[in-house]
Chain A
């Protein structure tokens, strides 16, 4: 048996049972789902009727529980299964969530909390103030250690093939930490501005805000931080790693090659990049039109790489990779992409006026555009190169630009924005056609493109419907120029075909990107086939890690692609709020106009104010944004984002259920306006305002921070109320309200306090005297229910109420209203317990089946209940009840020892 007893719940009842059993010598495990032991009592201001400090009573018990030699406490943990072994013992499974903080190392200094960029409502302070995603629950929490609330990986971060922590930099921009955001981007790639301008932003496709009025402009924020950095800083602000004596050659300076070079240089490798073209950038410079990616942005990104000492040798096509090895490079990475267009494969392709798409784009970017003025252009293909070719042709003055594609519009692989922009600029679509011949004139110049109509058949291997030619449907599109953009291919045969095989299914290991020759690696489109910039960046990171591991046997400080937690459910994110206000991005839209004639960048830059506002639309899906600010802030290096949860299977001799009660959700009485009127608060919120560790400066109005002079209490909110299905008295609301009345009159000496009540239930030692004392202090008592609460323009509150003593209906105006909310049964473990045969009473409290003779015993031998889980109890009663449970457990445990 692992433990004699399992106590579920760490409130005053759970702690009392655990301590009593521990004192008796039994080994006890306390499982608590929250981050601290202590329950609600520690959050109270004082206890009634003695007005002793609640924390002063609770915290010694908390400390005793945490440090008792016979008591083990598991916080952040939940019991997921309980089953009887048939012999009076129980098998339990406990799941512990990760805190992402090493408890042994954390000193509780709260530096992580100060650095954290995500603000969420502080549930420990009645959601009247913020806390951070990295936090310590409250000042008296035990353990006094931080934890990080991570609900999963945010969809944007999860969707980024480059492994960029998108949520992280959005959060940093929102906080005005622009340089930190830039540095977070640099952890993944030096191509911050490039991605900010030209990435297709899969992050935005999955952004939860897209379910509302539109996604956060994640990509444009990236461009903002990059441009801001480049405008103010000299160099990337990153120093290369200590040289490790290893050299790596990288062939190709596209996104994969540059990213790998950056990562390896940061880790101390000597890196040289060989670029066949006259300038670095590969496909980025040669084929992406300037209106999407201006050369200056790319130049700034490339300068990040060279700033770390990476040498880029241009005009250097590599024909023999083995020679690089002979030259002394320890590893070679091929990242040459897919620089060639696939041919159309039809007669007439050699006519003058037929051009490959990539070659066409390359000529234009190199400053050698063909003369298309007044010419009719047909672009064959439906991908992004086809769209770029069409839009470029329009800019060069083509009189007519048609895009011929063999499937329908929905099947076009081009990014939707690219397609739509092409159409806006004046491209026409010729869908469901396949070229069969380029027709030439007498001078062998293009005169027309002969096409055949297509019907779509059954889906092929890619899931898209297969194009089926329609016999006899040939027709000619008269044109002067045909641009072939039907796919891209590698140029690998020029240097390494024998080594790599036929891409994209080349024989490199998917994980390590290592070829059959150990020193030779490959990454990017060369491996995957044509993809996009972000995927190529991700491949570059992956290759750098693999090379580092192969050469040095371990990770040497390389920024690794994060190991995702599992993406958070977007529906769950939206459900965290009762309502979402509409919040437009406010950014100027991309300036796409018909028939453009220049290559100026279309997307306008965004300013600081717009950027922060755009970032402010983020919903913080994962809660923690993974911005990483807590990591350097922690002086103890205690943050560990790789931490994961664990499950324990244990055998115990008895179970004590002590999960307490639930507070009635006051918004279920909409006529009282809680959640709508700022100055209607609950009794628990008032407890926090009165506590020494209060969220406000004093007892203040939430609407405007003013001191309330007229305060009303509305008793029996959610209890003794059939309209909300709870006819039971919650037993302690009267007394905690009286206590608060007295405390308020001590704090706000000129305040008037009025209690609207049905009757005051002051049943307990000293309780009636406490009531009389409240009256004596000047608290007004008005007998009768409150019908409704209205709000004035000044955020004051009009109570319409029944005055039973005077037989009238009346109204009164107050500055602040406190709803004395009742309690409900806690059904967190309901299904689990019901499956074990634990009985509940008709109000869903755990049933003590023989309350007179065996109090705390449930319907299942060996399972006991302590405190308010079996019915409303105040603190002294809960402690007594928990003590009784401990004795019952002891008797049960001893019975297990007795001979049969």
Chain B
């Protein structure tokens, strides 16, 4: 990760809406979400896990033995 972790984490509130918007059309893996957001996957990982911790997204296992996790936005009122 090229940026200091504190700097990356600080951007989570800034990036949250954008990531949720991208997830509105369906679940995505971290690399897919990073590509859609044009952001580094390592930073998207930090933001997404923070959003997961605070109830904005949830995960589901992808298909196959070597599955990947896909993330969806939690529907909020």
A residues lining the B interface (CB < 8 Å): 113-114, 117-121, 127-130, 132, 171, 174-176, 576-581, 612-613, 615-616, 618-620, 675-676, 678, 695-698, 700, 702-707, 709, 750, 795
Contacts and interface: CB of A to CB of B under 8 A. Distances in A.
Residue among B13, B29, B45, B52 having the largest count of chain A Cβ atoms under 10 Å:
B13
Contact of A579 (B4, B12, B46, B53): B4
Interface string B29-49: 111001000000110011111
B53 A704 contact: no
Contacts of B75: none
B45 A702 contact: yes
Interface in B1-37: 1-7, 9-14, 16-17, 29-31, 34
A421 to B, nearest CB: 31
Nearest to B41: A704
A675 B6 CA distance: 12
Contacts of B4: 577-581
A700 B3 contact: no
Contacts, number: 113
A596 to B, nearest CB: 36
Nearest to A117: B13
Given A678-B1, A707-B67, A176 B17 contact: yes
Contacts of A581: 2-4, 7
B53 A697 contact: no
Given A114-B54, A129-B49, A705-B45, 11 more contacts: A119-B9, A129-B46, A130-B12, A130-B50, A130-B53, A176-B16, A581-B7, A616-B14, A705-B31, A706-B30, A795-B41
Interface of B: 1-7, 9-14, 16-17, 29-31, 34, 41-42, 45-50, 52-55, 59, 65-69
A174 B13 contact: yes
B6 A705 contact: no
Contact of A709 (B1, B13, B66): B66
Contact of A704 (B31, B54, B55, B59): B31
B44 to A, nearest CB: 8
A750 B66 CA distance: 9
Nearest to A171: B13
B42 A703 contact: yes
24 contacts: A113-B54, A119-B9, A119-B10, A120-B6, A129-B53, A130-B9, A175-B16, A176-B13, A577-B4, A579-B4, A581-B3, A612-B14, A675-B1, A697-B49, A697-B52, A698-B69, A700-B69, A702-B42, A702-B46, A703-B42, A704-B41, A705-B30, A705-B45, A709-B66
Contacts of A706: 30-31, 68
A120 B31 contact: no
Contacts of A119: 9-10, 12-13, 50
A615 B15 CA distance: 12
A132 B14 CA distance: 14
A580 B10 CA distance: 12
Contacts of B52: 697
Contacts of A750: 65-66
B30 A121 contact: no
A128 B30 contact: no
Binding site secondary structure of chain B? helix
Given A119-B13, A706-B68, A678 B42 contact: yes
Contacts of A578: 4
A121 B49 contact: no
Residue among B16, B48, B54 having the largest count of chain A Cβ atoms under 10 Å:
B54
A697 B69 contact: yes
Contacts of A697: 49, 52, 59, 69
Contacts of B6: 120-121, 576-577
Nearest to A130: B50
B10 A120 contact: yes
A172 to B, nearest CB: 9
Nearest to B43: A678
Contacts of A613: 14
B14 to A, nearest CB: 4
B12 A705 contact: no
Contacts of A696: 49
Contact of B68 (A612, A702, A707): A707
Residue among A113, A612, A698, A702 having the largest count of chain B Cβ atoms under 10 Å:
A702
Given A121-B9, A130-B9, A678-B1, A704 B66 contact: no
A121 B47 CA distance: 11
A703 B11 contact: no
A515 B46 CA distance: 58
Nearest to A679: B42
Contacts of B53: 129-130, 695
A577 B3 CA distance: 10
Residue among A118, A129, A577 having the largest count of chain B Cβ atoms under 10 Å:
A129
A174 B52 CA distance: 19
Contacts of A121: 5-6, 9
A196 B77 CA distance: 32
A695 B5 contact: no
A577 B7 contact: yes
A174 B14 contact: yes
Contact of B5 (A127, A132, A580): A127
Contacts of B69: 697-698, 700, 705
A114 B13 CA distance: 12
Nearest to B13: A175
A175 B67 CA distance: 33
Contact of A128 (B12, B13, B34, B46): B46
A596 B74 CA distance: 53
A705 B17 CA distance: 20
A176 B34 CA distance: 21
